[in-house]
């Protein structure tokens, strides 16, 4: 992937629980899903906010924004995978 995309990842529990997160990923939608599910299961959102994941939806919101200097613009509150490297 030459430029990262922004994704909206929605995870749902069997009892109707739901979490929606925005992810910027250079590695595609499956990486975006994995990041949100792993963070949820690991309790990153708080120990009392963890529940079994029943279903996952992902929406490609398109290319990530570009700053004036040509770097990737990371939207506020957006998870991103580039810091893993």
pTM score: 0.86
- Say how far apart CA 3 and CA 47 lie, in whole Å: 34
pLDDT per position as a tens digit, 59-72: 999 999 999 999 99
Query: So what's the pLDDT on residue 24?
Result: 94
Q: Which residues, at least 6 apart from 15, have a Cβ–Cβ distance to it below 8 Å?
A: 51
Contact 63, 6 (CB under 8 A): yes
Q: What is the pLDDT of residue 32?
A: 95
81 pLDDT higher than 60: yes
Task: Please give the angle made by the CA atoms of 82, 30 and 33, to the nearest 5 degrees.
Answer: 80
- Model confidence at 48: pLDDT above 60: yes
Is the distance from CB of 74 to CB of 24 less than 8 angstroms? yes
| More confidently predicted of 1 and 40 | 40
The whole-number pLDDT of residue 85 equals 39
């Amino acid at each position: 992937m030459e430029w990262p995309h922004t994704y909206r990842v929605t995870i749902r529990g069997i009892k109707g629980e739901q979490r929606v997160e925005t992810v910027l990923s250079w590695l595609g939608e499956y990486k975006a899903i994995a990041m949100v599910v792993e963070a949820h299961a690991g309790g990153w959102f708080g120990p009392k906010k963890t529940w079994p994941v029943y279903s996952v939806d992902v929406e490609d919101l398109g290319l990530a924004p570009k700053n004036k200097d040509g770097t990737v613009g990371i939207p506020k509150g957006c998870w991103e995978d580039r810091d893993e490297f």
